[in-house]
């Protein structure tokens, strides 16, 4: 197992490099970058289509919005954002910074990207960890019970709920919850936005805990309802597959109770496929589900930060969040493989020559 882990850790380096390279090239050629946005702001500030000397910039300038600015001013704007350097030099400087976890400075927030990520991380972690825990606490017991009562009334009735949860995305549930329970047309039981109240610092310890979960109730409920269906079905059919195998029949023939058969023999084997899908589930919950939920409920986390950076073409923030998301995804997949072997010692990645 040690050899396999070492190989996977070494593969993280080229994987991150090529992902950053591809995204760097794509983003550099995308229109509407920070330089063009700064040019538009400068023109709006001047309020005229000519330079201070009465002469417009030449048509050789590569920015469509730069016709009303002098070439000197455009050059200053390029230097301000580091676009006066060649592409290869910018990419090399970025890589050198990443080796020391220096992701640069945000173009629009005037803060170090590392500081921004550190400030937003607690919100995303809080939302992601609680929602993941609740999704697994609901999905696994429900999937096991559906497997044991396959085709019966409980299985058929809960399938309707699962179909609704599978068909409607989390952000749609979030909007419905806001309309009905957060100051919409009906009830005002929960806050509309934010993670804590304005007077949070003045509350007691118990008051802070209550206030925190009061704000988290609707976002967590939306994420659980919108994400638990697929994991429930995965658990159900994994257990159904194991329950039909010969070793289960042999265990029952020995007189073991159904609970002993289920949790002493079936559970460990059936949970392998669930654990194998854990990294993808976590990535989806943290980086896809969180994005929409943070926007809808105005939760200032990594998802909202990344979305704003894409809209503003804030390249340092885009690359920083991309780097963190990719690194966490690779590490989560490695952890999944390690857990896979811990649960089933028969699996040996080293002997299989896994890469």
Average pLDDT of the residues in 248-263: 77
Average pLDDT of the residues in 7-15: 82
Average pLDDT of the residues in 200-214: 84
Rounded CA separation 55/181 (Å): 58
The yes-or-no verdict on residue 77 having pLDDT over 70 is no
pLDDT digits (tens, 9 = 90+) for 122-163: 888 888 888 888 888 888 889 888 888 888 888 888 888 888
In degrees rounded to 5, what are phi and psi of residue 151? 85, -5
In degrees rounded to 5, what are phi and psi of residue 231? -70, -35
The yes-or-no verdict on residue 49 having pLDDT over 70 is no
Rounded CA separation 222/270 (Å): 28
Q: Which residues contact 165 (CB under 8 A, 6 or more apart)?
A: 225, 226, 227, 228, 229
Average pLDDT of the residues in 249-268: 76
Tokens of 119: 């400030």
Tokens of 302: 């990594």
DSSP string, 108-170: TT-SBHHHHHHHHHHHHHHHHHHHHHHHHHHHHHHHHHHHHTTTSHHHHHHHHHHHHHHHS-H
- Give pLDDT, residue 345: 64
Farthest-apart Cα atoms in the chain, separation: 96
- HSE-up of residue 313 (Cα within 13 Å, Cβ side): 14
Burial class (CB in 10 A: 0-12, 13-18, 19+), 15: middle
User: Which pLDDT band holds residue 185 (cuts at 50, 70, 90)?
Assistant: low
Average pLDDT of the residues in 250-275: 76
Tell me which residue has tokens 């050198």.
Answer: 96
Residue spans of the domains in the chain: they are 32-100, 113-352
Average pLDDT of the residues in 67-85: 60
Percentage of the chain modeled with pLDDT above 90: 0
pLDDT digits (tens, 9 = 90+) for 19-30: 888 877 776 666
C-alpha 316, offset from chain centre: 18
User: Which pLDDT band holds residue 53 (cuts at 50, 70, 90)?
Assistant: very low
User: Which pLDDT band holds residue 70 (cuts at 50, 70, 90)?
Assistant: low
- Give pLDDT, residue 246: 81
pLDDT digits (tens, 9 = 90+) for 303-328: 788 888 887 777 788 888 888 878 87
- Give pLDDT, residue 58: 43
Rounded CA separation 314/316 (Å): 6
DSSP string, 27-65: HHHSSS-HHHHHHHHHHHHHTSSS-TTS-PPPTT-S-GG
Average pLDDT of the residues in 248-275: 76
Instruction: Supply the angle between the helices 113-148 and 205-243 in degrees, to the nearest 10.
Output: 50
Rounded CA separation 91/17 (Å): 11
Q: Which residues of 320-330 are buried (b: 16+ CB within 10 A; e: fewer)?
A: bbbbbbbeebb
Q: Which residues contact 348 (CB under 8 A, 6 or more apart)?
A: 1, 341
The larger pLDDT score, comparing residue 134 to residue 258, is at: 134
- Give pLDDT, residue 68: 52
241's enclosing H/E stretch is helix 205-243
The yes-or-no verdict on residue 114 having pLDDT over 80 is yes
- Give pLDDT, residue 347: 62
User: Which pLDDT band holds residue 354 (cuts at 50, 70, 90)?
Assistant: very low
User: Which pLDDT band holds residue 207 (cuts at 50, 70, 90)?
Assistant: confident
The yes-or-no verdict on residue 99 having pLDDT over 70 is yes
* CATH 1.10.3720.10 describes domain 113-352: yes
Ranges 101-105, 206-210, 307-311, 340-344, most confident: 206-210
Residue 273 near residue 343, CB atoms below 8 Å:
no
For residue 288, give the nearest of 303, 274, 273 by alpha carbon: 303
- As beta bridge partners, residue 105 has 112
- Give pLDDT, residue 62: 54
Question: Which of 45-54, 178-187, 244-253, 259-268 bottoms out in mean pLDDT, i.e. has the lowest?
Answer: 45-54
Long-range Cβ contact pairs of 138-141 (< 8 A, separation 24 or more): 138/224, 138/228, 138/232, 139/228, 139/231, 139/232, 139/235, 140/231, 140/235, 140/274
DSSP string, 89-125: HHHHHHHHHHHTT---B-TTT-SBHHHHHHHHHHHHH
The yes-or-no verdict on residue 259 having pLDDT over 80 is no
Residue 297 near residue 16, CB atoms below 8 Å:
no
Question: Which of 150-159, 176-185, 276-285 bottoms out in mean pLDDT, i.e. has the lowest?
Answer: 276-285
- Give pLDDT, residue 343: 64
- Give pLDDT, residue 85: 72
């Amino acid at each position: 197992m040690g050899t396999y882990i070492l190989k996977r850790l070494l593969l993280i380096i080229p994987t991150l490099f090529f992902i950053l390279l591809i995204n760097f090239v794509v983003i550099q050629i995308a229109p509407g970058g920070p330089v063009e946005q700064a040019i538009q702001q400068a023109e709006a500030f001047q309020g005229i289509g000519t330079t201070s000397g009465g002469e417009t910039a030449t048509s050789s300038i590569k920015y469509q919005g730069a016709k009303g600015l002098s070439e000197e001013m455009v050059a200053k704007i390029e230097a301000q954002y580091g676009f006066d350097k060649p592409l290869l030099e910018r990419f090399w400087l970025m890589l050198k910074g990443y080796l020391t976890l220096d992701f640069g400075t945000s173009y629009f927030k005037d803060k170090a990207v590392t500081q921004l990520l550190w400030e937003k991380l607690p919100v995303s972690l809080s939302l992601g960890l609680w929602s993941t825990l609740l999704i697994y606490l609901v999905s696994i017991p429900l999937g096991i019970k559906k497997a044991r009562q396959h085709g019966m009334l409980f299985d058929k009735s809960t399938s309707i709920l699962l179909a609704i949860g599978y068909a409607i995305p989390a952000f749609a549930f979030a909007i419905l919850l806001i309309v009905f329970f957060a100051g919409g047309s009906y009830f005002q039981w929960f806050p509309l936005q934010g993670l804590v109240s304005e007077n949070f610092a003045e509350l007691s310890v118990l008051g802070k805990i209550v206030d925190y979960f009061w704000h988290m109730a609707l976002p967590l409920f939306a994420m659980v309802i919108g994400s638990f269906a697929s994991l429930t079905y995965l658990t159900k059919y994994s257990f159904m597959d194991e329950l039909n195998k010969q070793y289960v029949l042999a265990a029952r023939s020995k007189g073991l109770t159904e609970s002993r058969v289920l949790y002493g023999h079936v559970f460990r084997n059936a949970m392998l496929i669930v654990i194998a899908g854990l990294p993808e589930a976590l990535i989806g919950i943290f980086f896809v589900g969180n994005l929409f939920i943070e926007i809808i409920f105005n939760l200032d986390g990594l998802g909202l930060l990344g979305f704003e950076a894409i809209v503003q073409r804030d390249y340092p923030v885009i690359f920083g969040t991309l780097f963190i998301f990719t690194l966490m995804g690779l590490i989560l997949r490695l952890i999944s493989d390690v857990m896979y072997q811990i649960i089933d010692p028969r699996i040996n990645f080293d002997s299989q020559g896994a890469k």
